[in-house]
């Protein structure tokens, strides 16, 4: 039978999530035990064709609404694949009278999502996994809309075949790729969000003699933020995306997709720390103690594929207003942990954290507004920041270019032999135009949140995920985001965010059912219970 070269395991979640403790959320932990297929259980039994399986699937959302976890109890299989690229082919059977949808986790990444299996029939699905583990765990289950384990209904399906083919190491490309994997401070942005710019969006200029080049969306269409910039010696592929961390970039399958496009001789620069530090966002939080664990997954998976990995410590925030006009490392503990891992693992790194702090202290508090996303109301009337913005985390074009220059110069100054192939392509001696000073964009009504904007709308599985940004309001204890659908007669609260949560995160994630046109706005709440003036209204289709 197909499972003779695989190890069967039973994956269950017998205990509830530990929940919130000391500001950190702990989800359910799986119990994984080797299974004896000759001893039938409530989850499996042998048949003449293969295996008859029963699964439970449900999705839990923790109380803040930001942590979403998809759990499945079912039979799975492990195989020692090593850190290799492999093609998997799976055949499912459906003994019931109704169509079912079967899904598959591979090392906790959702690789098959709702494969349709007609009643009384079978279906075969394939996927490629670029493993970052020595052992690969496959887990199969029938997809469910259940929101609790108690409401999940056991679902029966058949597993008729599993086939694994190890893929050979790719040949080097004619023109190598420099991949970038990071968060919103590195991401490429659409014109609507100008002047917001990630340093990865303009790094190509230092590989192209200061000249512009067309932005091409990556052909794999994994998500719209990933853009390719063609330069004479290298292609720069920016696969950075906002609100991700070293953990979530892997768990969402984005690192897997990047590895699938990589080849020996490529480079990958990763910058993490900003979102890893956000404990109030459970799906992406990584403690400094665990940071090295996730970084080593990147290191080992690149080494196995002969891709040169470069660790980049997180850029500084504009925090001088809180430190007597001086800038400090905003994510110093993550910077230290990354440097420690780089030195232990002997991989090249760029200390962009300290480089940006030193640079900002040289130019001072007022000029630093030209670096970060500060704009007066009306400065960009056709875009997301029409009513102004002052964001101390994200960058505008000039700042992104100056920070990209720090990266490029660090490559030139490095004595690491791994970076030597990049040096002939890089120049930093072209002129970078400095913009005019930034006016304070505070609104006429001091209780009105300025800079209210929507970012990164993404729709999948009937749910719209998006980010909202707005300026802090002095004296506010919380903020309420209101929404109104096309059939609603009034606005309803969508989410309340505390002032502390807002201060700790420049952008905040929200979800809403898709298939409608929505309007949203935000208003500040004060200690006396009063509510300030509403922000501008944003309308979007989800």
Say which residue the tokens 């720069």 belong to: 236
pLDDT of residue 438: 75
Domain ranges, residue 334: 177-425
Residues 112 and 185 in one domain: no
28-37: long-range contacts, CB 8 A cutoff, minimum separation 24? 28/60, 28/69, 28/71, 32/76, 32/137, 33/9, 34/7, 34/8, 34/9, 34/10, 35/8, 35/9, 35/10, 35/75, 36/8, 37/3, 37/8
How does pLDDT run across 78-101, given as a tens digit for each residue?
999 999 999 999 999 999 999 999
Number of domain units in the chain: 3
pLDDT of residue 453: 87
Residues 292 and 369 in one domain: yes
Residues 124 and 262 in one domain: no
- Those residues whose C-beta lies under 8 Å from the C-beta of residue 167, and which sit 6 or more positions away, are 84, 85, 86, 87, 128
How does pLDDT run across 12-26, given as a tens digit for each residue?
999 999 999 988 999
pLDDT of residue 351: 98
Domain membership flag for residue 172: no
pLDDT of residue 461: 67
Domain membership flag for residue 439: no
Residues 268 and 199 in one domain: yes
How does pLDDT run across 249-295, given as a tens digit for each residue?
999 999 999 999 999 999 999 999 999 998 878 889 999 999 999 99
Domain membership flag for residue 171: no
- Those residues whose C-beta lies under 8 Å from the C-beta of residue 164, and which sit 6 or more positions away, are 79, 81, 86, 87, 88, 89
The predicted model scores a pTM of: 0.88
The enclosing domain of 531 has a CATH number of 2.60.40.10
Residues 114 and 236 in one domain: no
pLDDT of residue 384: 84
The enclosing domain of 247 has a CATH number of 3.40.50.1110
65 band by pLDDT with thresholds 50, 70 and 90: confident
Domain membership flag for residue 468: yes
How does pLDDT run across 125-183, given as a tens digit for each residue?
999 999 999 999 999 999 999 999 999 999 999 999 999 999 999 999 999 999 999 99
Domain membership flag for residue 432: no
Considering 121, 141, 166, which residue would you say is the last residue of a domain? 166
- Segment 381-390 shows an average pLDDT of 84
Residues 149 and 293 in one domain: no
Residues 185 and 145 in one domain: no
Residues 371 and 316 in one domain: yes
pLDDT of residue 149: 96
How does pLDDT run across 24-52, given as a tens digit for each residue?
999 999 999 999 999 889 999 999 999 99
Residues 219 and 270 in one domain: yes
Residues 372 and 483 in one domain: no
483 band by pLDDT with thresholds 50, 70 and 90: very high
Domain membership flag for residue 441: no
Residues 133 and 203 in one domain: no
pLDDT of residue 443: 57
Domain membership flag for residue 141: yes
């Amino acid at each position: 039978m197909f499972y003779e070269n695989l190890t069967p395991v039973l994956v269950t979640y017998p205990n509830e999530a530990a929940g919130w403790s000391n500001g950190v959320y702990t989800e359910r932990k799986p119990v994984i035990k080797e299974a004896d297929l000759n001893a039938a259980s409530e989850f499996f039994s042998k048949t003449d064709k293969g295996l008859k399986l029963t699964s439970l699937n449900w999705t839990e959302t923790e109380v803040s609404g930001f942590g979403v976890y998809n759990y499945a109890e079912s039979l799975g299989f492990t195989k020692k694949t090593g850190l290799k690229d492999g093609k998997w082919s799976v055949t499912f059977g459906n003994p019931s009278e109704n169509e079912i949808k079967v899904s598959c986790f591979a090392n906790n990444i959702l690789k098959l999502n709702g494969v349709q299996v007609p009643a009384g029939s079978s279906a075969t699905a394939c996927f490629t996994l670029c493993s970052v583990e020595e052992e690969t765990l496959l887990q199969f289950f029938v997809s469910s809309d259940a929101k609790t384990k108690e409401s999940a209904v056991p679902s029966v399906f058949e597993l008729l075949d599993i086939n694994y083919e190890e893929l050979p190491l790719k040949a080097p490309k004619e023109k190598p790729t420099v991949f970038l994997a990071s968060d919103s401070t590195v991401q490429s942005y659409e014109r609507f969000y100008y002047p917001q710019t990630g340093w990865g969006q303009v790094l190509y200029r230092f590989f192209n003699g200061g000249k512009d080049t067309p932005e091409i969306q990556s052909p794999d269409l994994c998500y719209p933020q990933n853009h390719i910039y063609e330069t004479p010696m290298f292609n720069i592929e920016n696969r950075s995306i906002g609100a991700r961390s070293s953990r979530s970039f892997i768990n969402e399958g984005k690192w897997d997709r990047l590895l699938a496009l990589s080849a020996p001789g490529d480079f990958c620069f990763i910058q993490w720390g900003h979102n890893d530090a956000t404990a109030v966002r459970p799906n992406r939080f990584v403690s400094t103690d665990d940071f090295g664990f996730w970084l080593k997954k990147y290191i080992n998976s690149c080494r196995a594929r002969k891709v040169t990995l470069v660790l980049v410590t997180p850029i500084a925030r504009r925090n001088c207003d809180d430190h007597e006009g001086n800038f400090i490392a905003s994510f110093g503990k993550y910077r230290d942990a990354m440097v420690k891992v780089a030195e232990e693992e002997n991989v090249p790194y760029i200390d962009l954290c300290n480089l940006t702090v030193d640079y900002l202290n040289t130019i001072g508090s007022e000029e630093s507004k030209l670096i970060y996303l500060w704009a007066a109301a009306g400065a960009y009337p056709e875009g997301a920041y029409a009513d102004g913005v002052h964001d101390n985390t994200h960058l505008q074009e000039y700042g992104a270019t100056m920070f990209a220059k720090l990266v490029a110069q660090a490559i030139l100054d490095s004595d690491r032999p791994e970076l030597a192939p990049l040096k002939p392509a890089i120049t930093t001696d072209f002129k970078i135009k400095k913009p005019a000073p930034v006016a304070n964009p505070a609104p006429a009504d001091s209780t009105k949140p300025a800079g209210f904007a929507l970012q990164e709308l993404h729709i999948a599985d009937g749910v719209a995920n998006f980010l909202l940004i707005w300026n802090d309001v002095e004296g506010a204890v919380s903020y309420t985001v209101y929404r109104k659908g096309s059939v609603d007669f009034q606005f309803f609260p969508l989410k309340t965010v505390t002032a502390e949560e807002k201060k700790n995160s420049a952008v905040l994630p929200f979800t809403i059912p898709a298939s409608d046109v929505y309007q949203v706005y935000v208003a500040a709440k004060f200690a006396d219970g009063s509510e300030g003036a509403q922000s501008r209204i944003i309308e979007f289709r989800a």
